[in-house]
Structures are given as C-alpha cells and as structure tokens.
Amino acid sequence: MNHRIACVIKNMESMGLTQLLVSDPMSIRYLTGVYVEPFERLYAFLIRTDGEHTFFLNHLFSVAETGYNEVRFSDMDDQIALLAAHIQKGKLGIDKTFTARFLIPLMERTGITPILASQAVDDCRAIKDDEEQELMREASRINDRVITQAFNAAKAGMTEKELADFIDKTFLAEGASGPSFPTIVSVGANAADPHHEPDDTTIKDGECVLIDMGCVYKGYCSDMTRTFVIGQPADPEFTKVHDLVRQANEKAEAIIRPGIPLSTIDAAARDFLAENGYEKEFNHRLGHFIGQTDHEQGDVSATNENLTVPGMVFSIEPGVYLPGRFGVRIEDLVIVTEDGCEILNHVEKKLQTI
C-alpha cells in the first residue's frame, strides 16, 4: 500500500471510519496518481480500511487500468445503484466536494450515515512528501525566473493587464502549465486592494507596482508577491512601509521551526507591524497552505493554534494597504524543515526601483 493511502487509513481509524468516499479530483490524484476532470459526472475513489479500494469511473474518462477494483459505467447506467452496491451499512466518510445530488440519493437507497471526513485526506495533503516538495521547489524556481523577467519588461505606460499577460505567457515558456491563480498586477492606489484584478491602469513613474503571481508545475503550485517602483517613489511614506513589510516577512520566516503554533508565526509579523503603527492596515491572515491548489486546507492566522510539522508548505505574506494611496505585500513560500524552514523564493525583497 502506498504511504499516502496508509496515512488516510490511519486518520480514518482514529475517526472510527471503515469506509471513505473521496471525490476531490486533486485528492484522488494525490492518492492514486490518476487525474480526471469529471465536470458534473460521478467520479469517486472508495477507500476501505480493509484495503479493498474501488474506483468509480465513467467510460468517458480516459483512464487506463488503475490497479484498484474498478466500477466502470456509462451515462445510461443507474450509477447510484452501482455505488450503493459497494457501500457497507453504517457510517460512510465523505469529503467536502461530494455533491448533494449524489449523496442524497445514496443516503435514500442505503440508509448510510454520512460523516464529513475531508480532514482524513486533507491532513495528509498538508504535509508534503519528498516528491511533492521537489515539485514545489521547481514551481517556485519558475516563479522566480518569471517575476525577474516581468521586472525587466515593466515600464511606464504599460497597463496592468499587459504585464499580467506577459507573466502568463512567460510561465508557459519557462515550463509551467499555467498560472496557479489569476495573476495580480496592481498599480498605485489599486494595490491597496489585496485582490485587485488587472485592468487598463497604466504603470506610472513613482507609483508602486504589486505583482502577486504563481504557476503550476506538474500539478503543484507556486505563489509569490513583490512590490516595486518605477523610478523614485512619489509617496513619502512608501519606502518606510515597504521596509516594514519586508521586515515583517523576514521576522515571521525567522521563527519558523517544527512544533510552534501557526498563530505564533502570524503574530511575529502582525505585532511588528502594529508596533510600527500599521495594525489595521494589515487586514488579512499572514498565509495559507498550498500544494496542488493555490489555497489548501490550513492557514497561518491569529486563530490557528495547530503546530507546525516538517513538510508543511505555506505562504508568508504580510501586507500594508493605504486606501487611495498604495499597498505593499511581500510573499514567499516556505517548507517547514526538521530544524527551521526552507524559503522557496530567492527574488530580492528589498525595494527595487526600476
């Protein structure tokens, strides 16, 4: 049995479950190596603690023999009946993506008690094994190369959209399969909105340019933010804020090691910015877990008391946002190691004036 399925079974046992229906395509790929985009069709992998695991596959999915028990069906079959035939009485773990239109008929036919058990898989996914860590390092190396090219391409008069398009194209040229989320380029006051969507605003001398970008490499994501200026910053407060945000980022990264609450890492950045007068202006959590999707279960926030474990990968992204003026965010990804952390991004964090 592979170590990822073994991890899930261990979690199922501690939850008192003998069967778990996994429907998240990313989770199924994580566990079996099989990836399908099922759209609205039924797609599931049933894990049982006795080792009898079963795939439920539509003939329209082009999937070679999986090595597990398989139930293959067509659109014309009674799919719920096929599924029900493999489910034992009692409790059935399901994950959060299994939709009501399958779950409710399944409950009606089998009388099972569904238990929300995404955690059994998500807790395993949160701790990346060596193979995953290597893919995430490469995704971040590509991200580093592409942002460097974006710095070189950026010039006054270019629109946010043009720079974002340049980044998305360059991802492909550098070996990524595409962006891991819609690329953010925001200029000047637009940067005060953490999730600004690139528009026709042009880059201007003296205004900040915030780039938040990430790519997918062999199914794994990167994510990084840098904020720079073309020429000399026009707003007298900008340089000071940039320096404080960079220090907040570095202070948080400096304390990361196994066995500390994630909330302590959030506090390292948040308290420092608060002491310097920017408490309200840092209006989001410090970071999020990342892996096969840009945001995975788990975050680095004031309320998450869970302890760090080697292999966790998350972002450290403090920001200060001054509405109507500018915003600064500086973000790296880190892997928790046995004695500290490995920072996956190596692009200069000090203010770059281009």
- Write out the residues near Mn ion by the rule CB under 5 A: 223, 315
Q: Which two tokens stand for residue 149?
A: 């090219």
Which residue type does 289 have?
Answer: F
CA distance 249 to 255: 11
Q: Which two tokens stand for residue 134?
A: 């290597």
What is the chain's percent helix, strand, coil content, to nearest 5?
Answer: 35, 25, 40
Nearer to Mn ion, 214 or 233 (CB): 214
- Are 227 and 209 contacting, i.e. CB atoms less than 8 angstroms apart? yes
Secondary structure of residue 249 in the 3-state scheme: helix
State the nearest-atom distance from the C-beta of 296 to Mn ion, in Å.
11
Q: Which of 300, 283, 306 is nearest to 334 (CA)?
A: 300
CA distance 212 to 214: 7
Nearer to Mn ion, 19 or 222 (CB): 222
- Spatial CB neighbours of 301, under 8 Å, sequence gap ≥ 6: 262, 263, 266, 285, 286
Phi-psi region of 67 (alpha: psi -120 to 50; beta: other; left: phi over 0): left
Supply the Cα-derived Rg of the chain in whole angstroms: 23
State the nearest-atom distance from the C-beta of 258 to Mn ion, in Å.
22
State the nearest-atom distance from the C-beta of 119 to Mn ion, in Å.
22
CA distance 243 to 267: 18
Helix axes 3-14, 25-32, angle to 10 degrees: 120
State the nearest-atom distance from the C-beta of 171 to Mn ion, in Å.
16
Nearer to Mn ion, 223 or 250 (CB): 223
State the nearest-atom distance from the C-beta of 190 to Mn ion, in Å.
18
Characterize the bridge pairing of strands 91-94 and 69-73. unpaired
Nearer to Mn ion, 110 or 225 (CB): 225
Nearer to Mn ion, 272 or 314 (CB): 314
Nearer to Mn ion, 93 or 318 (CB): 318
State the nearest-atom distance from the C-beta of 180 to Mn ion, in Å.
9
Nearer to Mn ion, 17 or 142 (CB): 142
Nearer to Mn ion, 118 or 225 (CB): 225
Phi-psi region of 124 (alpha: psi -120 to 50; beta: other; left: phi over 0): alpha
State the nearest-atom distance from the C-beta of 294 to Mn ion, in Å.
7
Nearer to Mn ion, 190 or 315 (CB): 315
State the nearest-atom distance from the C-beta of 273 to Mn ion, in Å.
17
CA distance 83 to 117: 18
State the nearest-atom distance from the C-beta of 263 to Mn ion, in Å.
18
- Are 307 and 259 contacting, i.e. CB atoms less than 8 angstroms apart? yes
- Quote the DSSP letter at residue 165: H
